[in-house]
Amino acid sequence: MSTPGQEEHSKGGVYSSKGKEFTRDSSYITTRIVAEPRPGTDDHPVEPGRYHLVAARACPWANRTIIVRELLGLTDVISLGAPGPTHDADSWTFDLDPGGVDPVLGIHKLKDAYEKRFPGYPRGITVPAIVEVATGEVVTNDFAQMTLDFSTEWKQYHRDGAPDLWPEHLRDEMAPVMKRIYTEVNNGVYRCGFAGSQEAYDSAYDRLWTAMDWLEERLADRRYLMGDAITEADVRLFTTLVRFDAVYHGHFKCNRNKLSEMPVLWAYARDLFQTPGFGETIDFDQIKQHYHIVHTDLNPLGIVPKGPDLSGWTTPHGRG
């Protein structure tokens, strides 16, 4: 959901006005990829090999899609393109690929896929995005719906034993949990980092830590957010927790304490990190480069810190 252009406060969000709180732009391309396209819609059909997921490892919103793709075993069904951790004001770019060109789409900039479908596309060029390989056109950048559809619409292509990340019998209970995680934690760290006044920052800080304390308490008597099995809710929380000590604690001033100083959340996060499909999607160097180089309004010299020590992620978690 990170977006080039208008500096970081529109990488998925904008300041409502100077001195006010960070407000996220939540308008996305709502086209869906579904098993049975609905008549009269712009739905696209599920089809192996037809789509290319463009998802930067540095971006927490894109990281969700990479994790779910791994957990469900869709790696041979939906190809993955990985932009570099930094981008210019115009677009995410494929700096990590030979010649700076995505090998599947043959483009330098993700913007080309947006413009192919929507000439003069007026909004930010966000990741994650799914692009149709044959046409080179972006299909959707609706990150929240994307992973739910991976779980439900692509089910016939899931690996044997794939987890049910969006279990039907838990959806009514999961929805408010995921909403609170999004508003208070996933977006809450950004609300702290890009607060436009002391008052806005103080309010954002208090909201974040109220939610973090709630999570510490909730996870004290259950292994995962919804009980004994990993769900979409855990994926959504993990991508913020794994970035917390590396960037949010200092860079975004979320510094009441480190994640590693919260016994339950720290053990829970390590448990997920050490679960296949989670930790191998994380590149701490790319994460730190993205936040400290791209956010020139917060870090004008672009200096990337060498710390903190992140070796603790592989230590025993005791949650089994």
Domain residue spans of the chain: 8-157, 168-314
Annotated binding site: 92
Q: Which residues are annotated as a binding site for glutathione?
A: 92
Q: In the numeric block, which tokens belong to residue 7? A: 């500096």
For every one of its 320 residues, what pLDDT tens digit does the chain have, with 9 covering 90 and above? Answer: 555 433 333 344 444 444 577 887 778 999 999 999 999 999 999 999 999 999 999 999 999 999 999 999 999 999 999 999 999 889 999 999 999 999 999 999 999 999 999 999 999 999 999 999 999 999 999 999 999 999 999 999 999 999 999 999 999 999 999 999 999 999 999 999 999 999 999 999 999 999 999 999 999 999 999 999 999 999 999 999 999 999 999 999 999 999 999 999 999 999 999 999 999 999 999 999 999 999 999 999 999 999 999 999 999 999 98
Closest CA to 234 of 141, 319, 129: 319
Cβ neighbours for 224, distance < 8 A, ≥ 6 positions apart? 230, 231, 233, 234, 268
DSSP string, 291-309: IIII-TTT-TT-PPP----
DSSP structural state of residue 287: H
Decide: 145 and 178 in contact? Cβ < 8 Å: no
Q: Which residues are catalytic?
A: 59, 190
Cα separation of 123 and 199, whole Å?
Answer: 29
Residue ranges of alpha helices (H) inside the chain are 60-72, 111-117, 143-152, 171-180, 188-193, 198-218, 232-243, 249-251, 263-273, 284-289
Q: Read off the DSSP letter of residue 207.
A: H
Name every residue whose Cβ is closer than 8 Å to that of residue 308 and which is 6 or more positions away in sequence.
Answer: 245, 246, 258
Task: Give the global pTM.
Answer: 0.94
Report the alpha-carbon distance of residue 126 to residue 141 in Å, rounded. 7
The confidence score (pLDDT) of residue 269 equals: 98
| pLDDT, position 137 | 98
CATH hierarchy code of domain 8-157? 3.40.30.10
What's 168-314's CATH class? mainly alpha
Q: Report the chain's terminal Cα–Cα distance, integer Å.
A: 33
Quick one: pLDDT at residue 320? 84
Phi, psi of 143 (to 5 degrees): -60, -35
In whole angstroms, what is the distance from residue 28 CA to residue 26 CA?
A: 6
